[in-house]
Chain A
């Protein structure tokens, strides 16, 4: 297990590759593209030993790297993965490759900088998932904002400056209070390692404040209703690649933070305030789904559907206490946490794929207005098939990965309360509605206008990208066992942490 610094490789290889791409420069764009692609592939390849070397059935962290980093602050360069973080790391490495390929010829403005920004961000995002030291986590968490700020601002749409400033300031505002909470925990625990923070006894009052500080940071990232308003703006204005990374990976950081920080560090406050999260999640699931229904812009539609789907993640994560009080045993709660995790991975694949599909259309038509399309399948049969598949997966069609996560969470909510389940399940109807209506208007029907009639079907590059994603979505949908096995022990361990009170006994 030890002795191989694969985690450092998957963090710093893309960063180094990004700097190299930047150094190659826009004048040698073709070389820069290849450098970026090779880096992203090499990073994905470096995830293979992580997966094969990973031992299921233990909650202990693996591939640990631990060296002193800042002695003055007792912070360490402390990396490690468990069943919760490894899938997210693989997802990050996996989704960066299509982003690079999708931008291959499409990005004409400063291509080297474009690819470099995505590679640097890949490394930083993996760093977030791999950090076991809170300060290191925060370091990556904040640093990641810089490339995303630049990506939306340079390659975005007409209102990109507004969108990127909103994105940056919103997330920055959410994060700084988390920093205060982390420093507070450090002063009590003596170092920044997550393990000591999770062990640290805390009074309910302290937990409540820390929980709220964490919640603000993670809720903005997830994003939960009502702090979601930055997301539609950011998505609409971001270039295709930016939307993919935003939806597929960055949103997951909020969910990951809730699982890694909020629940284990402040379990009692989580218990006390779980109604808040559940309520916000249900509002997101139901209300935002209706908002998605009326969108005219395809990207906005998928953005709102992302918020609704991430509602399942937060719901699944915080159902545990309701299940505990309803059934008196923790067994059923596993479903909720499992569902939250699967939903994150699955949503990463599906939303990424949908944004790529929209990017394919946008590259040809330069509009994302749903009303500008119609009958696309007549001229783009391959594209039509894949788009329909992803849209159905997005609405939770059995046999696709979208089904597994939602099903597990709804299963768990039944154990908590019938009404939760009813509300959560309603998304299956509304979700089906907005997804089906989207494909009805865009893909099916007669060819709407001359522009649509002249559309070219997917080229090899696009087909490869979407095809691989389609296979993954279906594979995860029919055979989720490897993922569930990988998470099993870690989720059980998390559950133990969550139900153990940390209030010091006086």
Chain B
């Protein structure tokens, strides 16, 4: 993050070409508006038109980002409210791919439940836009803007199935708690601003080097609490299980994967970059939050019978791992956290994709018991799920192993031997509940359950997704070196 800061000469005078680095956001905003319009006029008659257009928008956005957004230097735009750097480009590309995959998995699920209104896709796009804004935020205000754009879209998405009582309950919970967290964030930011007189993250990072005082500590505490809430870390995790279980599975998939990229960016920009001068304060807080998350997430997951809820607690535990990476306060730790996030998103996409694919109309297939005997009913799907579960448990040769390995290495490299030991030991506890899914699939009888009826193209994408989990586990160098390069 100490890369040369190239202040664009066009910061003061706007011209069209100066907007090019912001092309991902611009194209997303335009396509969200266009799709909303198209859907109003043509969408009702043609099923799938909006979905196709959304996919197209993502494709165009990704291509534009590849063309104009990939850069090796760091550029500030809009009076340094916005930053474009390699990390931002990488995360945005990952966001496009993750969202496209998530939408692909969701299509059939949405259709069979009749919740495929055009607004669904538009909300997904605006949520992605919020994530992108977060990714490129270089000011406290931009951070807040991104968070609100993301959160408001997600609240609506969780409640998207109007018929569902638990979805409405989850959405209200999410909204109320989320609003409190946003308030805490704003409060913390205002204290930071009051103490330092700047909203700019670059300046914040350089000015806040003097000894800590009480106001700053309180401000940071509020910010950390809000960040922990967005990430779903203990003790701000109460919304996670209810939202994961209550929301339509396609939305859970979105929250668990795409929005995780935003949470990563949030911590990186706000804490690791903006408060780089005072790492000793927030790393202490992160360590506490991370340890609690690992402990409570893993232990509570054991008791779950609902797979979505189990994955929610697993998400809490994994948030603990990401936070451990940040808690090192070192570049190596941030790289490890990025790698962990990417690996987690990739694996979780497929895990929820599996649930979505196995769900039928009127049947959610989200109880762990629903997986009983899957290996005799559909060997391929069971094998894929086995890979995903072992990967999340952190067993080689899958990608999850390297994700955890690098975090442990970063912890040891920064002298946190006991934290590293704790992290690996709690992973063993975590292994149990992932293994239980394998146990149900392979060691139990199918009983009355039938061979699932699945679409070939879904199987293909799921296969490719799982193959990526395996190949990047056998040859992890590519992802690791990208992570090293984008966070120099």
Q: Which residues of A contact B (CB under 8 A)?
A: 25, 68-73, 110, 113, 138-140, 142-143, 145-146, 149-150, 153-154, 160-161, 164-165, 168-169, 172-173, 176-177, 179-180, 183-184, 186-187
Report Cα–Cα, A69/B474, bound state, in Å. Answer: 9
With contact pairs A146-B395, A187-B412 given, residues A70 and B480 touching in the complex (Cβ less than 8 Å): yes
B405 neighbours in A (Cβ, 8 Å)? 73, 179, 183
B401 neighbours in A (Cβ, 8 Å)? 139, 142
Q: Which residues of chain B (406-432) have a CB below 8 Å from chain A?
A: 406, 408-409, 412-413, 417, 420-421, 424-425, 427-428, 431-432
Tell me if B477 and A169 are in contact (CB < 8 A): no
Tell me if A139 and B412 are in contact (CB < 8 A): no
Report Cα–Cα, A72/B402, bound state, in Å. Answer: 11
Tell me if A165 and B432 are in contact (CB < 8 A): yes
Q: Which 4 A-B pairs have the closest CB atoms?
A: A72-B480, A176-B424, A153-B443, A139-B396
Report Cα–Cα, A176/B442, bound state, in Å. Answer: 25
Q: Is B195 an interface residue (CB 8 A)?
A: no
Report Cα–Cα, A123/B435, bound state, in Å. Answer: 23
Q: Is B205 an interface residue (CB 8 A)?
A: no
* Chain B residues touching A, majority SS: helix
Tell me if B431 and A73 are in contact (CB < 8 A): no
Tell me if A184 and B417 are in contact (CB < 8 A): yes
Tell me if A150 and B412 are in contact (CB < 8 A): no
Report Cα–Cα, A180/B443, bound state, in Å. Answer: 32
Report Cα–Cα, A184/B418, bound state, in Å. Answer: 12
Tell me if B442 and A150 are in contact (CB < 8 A): yes
**Closest A residue by C-beta to B425:** A176
* Chain A residues touching B, majority SS: helix
Tell me if A172 and B431 are in contact (CB < 8 A): yes
Report Cα–Cα, A311/B396, bound state, in Å. Answer: 30
Tell me if B409 and A70 are in contact (CB < 8 A): no
Q: Which residues of chain B (328-377) have a CB below 8 Å from chain A?
A: 375-376
Report Cα–Cα, A180/B423, bound state, in Å. Answer: 10
Binary contact readout B460-488 vs A (1 if CB under 8 angstroms, 0 otherwise): 00000000000000011100110110000
A69 neighbours in B (Cβ, 8 Å)? 475, 477
Q: Is B282 an interface residue (CB 8 A)?
A: no
With contact pairs A142-B401, A143-B395 given, residues A187 and B409 touching in the complex (Cβ less than 8 Å): yes
Q: Which residues of chain B (378-410) have a CB below 8 Å from chain A?
A: 379, 386, 390, 395-397, 401, 405-406, 408-409
Identify which of B395, B443, B484 contacts A160 (C-beta below 8 A): B443
Q: Which residues of B contact A (CB under 8 A)?
A: 375-376, 379, 386, 390, 395-397, 401, 405-406, 408-409, 412-413, 417, 420-421, 424-425, 427-428, 431-432, 435, 438-439, 442-443, 475-477, 480-481, 483-484
Q: Separation in Å of the A376 CB from the closest CB of chain B?
A: 33
Identify which of A68, A113, A154, A169 contacts B431 (C-beta below 8 A): A169
Tell me if B477 and A71 are in contact (CB < 8 A): yes
Report Cα–Cα, A180/B376, bound state, in Å. Answer: 38
Report Cα–Cα, A113/B383, bound state, in Å. Answer: 11
Identify which of A110, A154, A179 contacts B408 (C-beta below 8 A): A179
A165 neighbours in B (Cβ, 8 Å)? 432, 435, 439
Q: Separation in Å of the B33 CB from the closest CB of chain A?
A: 41
Identify which of A149, A164, A184 contacts B412 (C-beta below 8 A): A184
Tell me if B435 and A149 are in contact (CB < 8 A): yes
Q: Separation in Å of the B34 CB from the closest CB of chain A?
A: 41
Q: Which of A161, A164, A176, A186 has the most CB of B within 10 A?
A: A176
Tell me if B395 and A142 are in contact (CB < 8 A): yes
Known: A73-B480, A145-B395, A173-B428. 15 other contacts (CB 8 A): A69-B477, A72-B476, A72-B480, A72-B481, A142-B401, A143-B395, A146-B386, A150-B442, A153-B438, A153-B443, A165-B439, A172-B428, A173-B425, A176-B425, A183-B408
**Closest A residue by C-beta to B408:** A183
Report Cα–Cα, A485/B379, bound state, in Å. Answer: 48
Q: Separation in Å of the B412 CB from the closest CB of chain A?
A: 5
Report Cα–Cα, A153/B373, bound state, in Å. Answer: 12
**Closest A residue by C-beta to B393:** A172
With contact pairs A142-B396, A165-B439 given, residues A180 and B408 touching in the complex (Cβ less than 8 Å): yes
B390 neighbours in A (Cβ, 8 Å)? 146
Tell me if B442 and A183 are in contact (CB < 8 A): no
Report Cα–Cα, A48/B431, bound state, in Å. Answer: 39
Tell me if A149 and B438 are in contact (CB < 8 A): yes
A149 neighbours in B (Cβ, 8 Å)? 435, 438
Report Cα–Cα, A371/B119, bound state, in Å. Answer: 72
Q: Separation in Å of the B473 CB from the closest CB of chain A?
A: 9
Tell me if A72 and B484 are in contact (CB < 8 A): yes
Q: Separation in Å of the B309 CB from the closest CB of chain A?
A: 21
Q: Separation in Å of the B362 CB from the closest CB of chain A?
A: 31
Q: Separation in Å of the B8 CB from the closest CB of chain A?
A: 32
With contact pairs A165-B435, A179-B405, A180-B420 given, residues A143 and B396 touching in the complex (Cβ less than 8 Å): yes
Report Cα–Cα, A71/B480, bound state, in Å. Answer: 9
B375 neighbours in A (Cβ, 8 Å)? 154
